[in-house]
Structure 1
Amino acid sequence: MTLALVEVEEKLSVSQWQAYLRLGFTYGARGTVLKTCDHKGPLYVQKPFYPEGKDTAHVYLLHPPGGLVSGDELIIESRQQPNTHVLVTTPGAGRVYRARPDRTLQSQTTYLKVPKDAILEWLPQETILYPDANTRLVNQVNLERGARFIGWEITCFGLPANQLDFAQGQADQTFQISINGRLRLRERLLIHPKEDGLMAAKAGLQGYPVNGFMVAGTLDALSDEDLGALRSLCEEFDGLAGVSLVDEFVVIRSLNADSEKMKRLFIRCWQILRPALIHRQACAPRIWAT
């Protein structure tokens, strides 16, 4: 591990945060509006942006410390009213730094509630789990029947560019979606030193340090043309990627050694899924170009 990396982690480990952010969106004459924004600690948003017009709010989640240290607990909640359309992203990669010797947990929990006739696009940039991190990351999506959702999660285990693997790191990740209170889709990945070989196993990450999960729904149907285009993208991908239909959801899973390549794949899939699901062409957040 480089001296600079050690110094950054030691500096960040002297404090810890229990922070929350609660967002509420309404729809009216001015379109989709961020009506409430309650926060504690270093977790907040600036004003929404409207590159697509007043009906769709682009929101950037800001976490100034840049990552989680031992003892940090972040809670993010988003609630929408009918007819709102919200796209949420982040200005850069999230990070979970090396845990202290006492292995105190570093956690982030996200609760997303989307009512009937509302749309949420949850498109954060990648999360980097530093060697020896100890983290729990949970996404709970609660949809009402008639809501539409597109979301992804890109996780980099270790620092492959520096030839640093996840070593003795621990990670517990969950992404679950409920419709009208009933669980419909649940993805969980548990990385633990006792699970010897999971990072390299065929039934695990197969030696790839970057894991990706993308989901879109609910869909009445996906055209053969769109499904074929998604499958072609996955087949051409420099890594592993595949498309599944799970009830009313399209699920894309991917493994790779490069988070930027995976992000580009997911953006191209999003450009196909967005018109199919919400009948609007993809409009990339401006922050992605900086």
Structure 2
Amino acid sequence: MTAYQAFDIADSGHRFDPERRWAAGLTLGFEARDEGAARPVTRLVRRRHHGPLRVQRPFYPEGRDGCCHVYLLHPPGGLVSGDQLRIDVAVAEAGHALLTTPAAAKLYKADSHGVAWSQQTRLRVARDAVLEYLPQETIAFDGSRGSQSTHIELAANARTLGWEVLALGRPASNLPFVTGALEQRFQLTLDGRPLWLERQRLDPGHRRFHGPWGQGGATVQATLWAVGLADEAEAVETLRQQLPGHSRWAVTRRRGVLLLRYLGQDRNEAWRLCERAWHLLRPRLTGRSAHTPRIWLT
């Protein structure tokens, strides 16, 4: 077990002081196996958990030789002060997995000590494998403090498509995000070579949060990425022609990474934009039409 996967159970648990923390971890491994079907069948062959992180059984809505769909479950439904979540996913050569979540994740207000939460996600994709990482949106409550990091490690000819949709505060309930601070980090590498490195801090007390050169007062943001497209320029042009709301999003490509960004006020709009982009990009990335996970419809 790597250091990334190691959890000190003795240090976990409920505390109500500045040292409070509660660790949870999930390790998943997928392999492509020859079981006599037209294509190799991707199986969930490794599953290890600690604390309140689980998965349901794998689903194959696209057919026996199709993509393996798995739902990541966090029964508490949100992160509070001291929570430390670690997710480690590996897709072996020629495998194809799709990960999503059953509902929006919540980032709750920090406790009286201001203790932060953290979530670390590591996604490893081997040669000729595909991983789709499509969690439902994250809602940050006013006063939330924490950090999210997503590290994607690709081998040669690996492909990936994913997104992160973040809503700040709950404007519909007149509870805007006016205190607290979040930090997001993205790191995407190909054979150890960095392709996309990014860090942003969302602090409503900083002028960047409100300035037109920064967050501009937007309460919702989304980032979608895709790596492994045969014709990136054609994919970018297709998105520009077929997606609505051009004033609130933009798409570009650099060093083999397609990036679509949304900045606005409507998390449903951001979600629909990402889902529609996925429907357009998935056939170009995998040769298969998008098959909406059933959990999104419940």
So what's the TM-score if we normalise by structure 1?
0.91
Superposition map of 1:239-278 within 5 A: 240-278=248-286
Deviation at 1:56, TM superposition (A): 0.9
Output the CA distance in 1 between the equivalents of 2:127 and 2:287.
16
1:219 paired residue among 215, 225, 229? 229
Identity %: 38
State the partner residue of 2:23: 18
2:196 paired residue among 185, 205, 208? 185
Output the CA distance in 1 between the equivalents of 2:139 and 2:242.
24
Matched, 1:94 2:99: no
Superposition map of 1:114-125 within 5 A: 114-125=125-136
Q: Is contact 1:275-1:282 (8 Å) kept?
A: yes
Output the CA distance in 1 between the equivalents of 2:213 and 2:190.
29
State the partner residue of 1:29: 34
Output the CA distance in 2 between the equivalents of 1:286 and 1:170.
34
Matched, 1:160 2:175: no
Deviates more, 1:199-208 or 1:31-40: 199-208
Q: Is contact 1:160-1:257 (8 Å) kept?
A: no
Aligned residues: 276
Deviation at 1:250, TM superposition (A): 1.1
Matched, 1:203 2:213: yes
**Residue 283 to residue 243, structure 1, CA distance change in 2 (3 Å):** same
Deviations 1:202-233 (A, max 9, x none): 22221110010000012342353x43220134
Amino acid across the alignment from 2:49: H
Deviations 1:171-201 (A, max 9, x none): 000122000011110232202355x222221
Superposition map of 1:114-153 within 5 A: 114-153=125-164
Residue ranges of structure 1 left out of the alignment (5+ in a row): 1-11
Amino acid across the alignment from 2:51: G
Output the CA distance in 2 between the equivalents of 1:102 and 1:132.
12
Q: Is contact 1:46-1:60 (8 Å) kept?
A: yes
Deviation at 1:36, TM superposition (A): 0.9
Over the residues paired in the alignment, what is the CA RMSD in angstroms?
A: 1.8
Deviates more, 1:82-91 or 1:178-187: 178-187
Output the CA distance in 2 between the equivalents of 1:220 and 1:201.
38
Deviates more, 1:40-49 or 1:27-36: 27-36
1:82 paired residue among 78, 93, 112? 93
Deviations 1:253-286 (A, max 9, x none): 0012111111111111111111111111111101
State the partner residue of 1:231: 240
Matched, 1:50 2:60: yes
Output the CA distance in 1 between the equivalents of 2:204 and 2:249.
26
State the partner residue of 1:4: none
Output the CA distance in 2 between the equivalents of 1:57 and 1:265.
24
Deviation at 1:239, TM superposition (A): 5.5
Output the CA distance in 2 between the equivalents of 1:62 and 1:267.
20
Output the CA distance in 1 between the equivalents of 2:174 and 2:152.
35
Deviates more, 1:141-150 or 1:215-224: 215-224
* Structure 1: 4+ residue segments shifted above 6 A: 12-15
Amino acid across the alignment from 1:145: A
Deviation at 1:238, TM superposition (A): 7.3
Deviations 1:117-148 (A, max 9, x none): 10000000001111000010000000001000
Output the CA distance in 1 between the equivalents of 2:149 and 2:168.
16
State the partner residue of 1:111: 122
Q: Is contact 2:97-2:131 (8 Å) kept?
A: yes
Q: Is contact 1:239-1:256 (8 Å) kept?
A: no
Residue ranges of structure 2 left out of the alignment (5+ in a row): 1-13, 36-40
